[in-house]
Structure 1
Amino acid sequence: MSKSVARLKSMKKVADKIDHSSKLRTNIPAGMAAAGPPLGPMLGQRNINIATFCKDFNERTANIKPGIPLPTRVKVNADRSYQLTIHQPPASYFLMQAAGVNRGAMNSGNEICGKITLKHLYEIAKIKQQDPPLEWRSLKEICTMLIATARTCGIQIVEKLDAKEYGEFLAERKQVVEEQKKMLQEKREAKMLRTA
């Protein structure tokens, strides 16, 4: 009986050492961490002091333009302290900024929402190479990843881009986006009427 008790105690020690906490993985706008939803409840579930976290995050992102989405990883320690890792903005954010568009294509693969040059792609790859998950990858691999992301967003990659032609393309695109927004609004209203 004493052997089994000793074995149970040793197993309990091993179980106590196992870290069951999950990492918090979310995007937080730079300089805009707030205690309200959705961030507050996520932090509260992990017993993190919300006010301290928000202050820490906002101080660390003070030099970045407010509102830029930053992928954030938080590992919670047993003593309620945490390790905060802030990555570069998502690749889709950089691609859309370079293309001069606010939203991606609704029908990716069939629709082009913007265009960027190979130089834009290379510059974005150099920025993304600073991210911890990508720092050991070659620029070629990161460029391949960015091409796939651009395709998903509906952004076309071209060798050269004429400013005047692209301005005309963006003006036409703006009308298409307005029509898509109107169509989505009509669908929403129709759905609300059906459920009422």
Structure 2
Amino acid sequence: MRQNPARRAALLDAAIEVLAREGSRGLTLRAVDKEAGVPIGTASNYFNSRDTLLTQAGARVYERLIPDEATLAQMAPTGDIDTVVELLKETVNRVSSFRTGYLALLELRLEATRRPELREVLTKRVRTDMDENVARHLASGLPGDATSVQLLQLALSWLILEQLTLPDIFTAEERDKLVTEAVIRLAGNRVL
């Protein structure tokens, strides 16, 4: 297997685009080569099977969804509800702006019901994400417990799904209002 990390990342990014556009059935090593604009056979030099490609594409989506260190530093809550609401709106907008990544992730989640190795990768990644969100929230001293954070993450995930798959259900203003209300209601109407 080839070891060029930049080429591997480019191939995985191409796989994400194919997944989002064609679905998991359309994801082949040849389709990835074509999407990446590389010679036929290149992807097979990096991934020994379609299963390996699916599993690594699942990990790659999360790499790209995680905010960079500068964004994480800006996301440190100050304790007031307006800041928390703005941070969560930023999260919804950031994740939604990687439309193909989120759609590919949905395809990967469906595929994970049939592929234990992919399910293991996605389960670990989602659990880590959830645990980090809870830990960051609890360390900030903001009101609300782990369950509140988990419920917010689940609610916002579905809101993002609605926005990406049926974008005319909510206007941007309605989406922002839903984020605000979710924060207020899950914080128990307490000032954060």
TM-score, length basis structure 2: 0.29
RCO comparison, higher one (Cα < 8 Å, 6+):
2
* Structure with more strand by fraction: 1
* Structure with more helix by fraction: 2
TM-score, length basis structure 1: 0.28
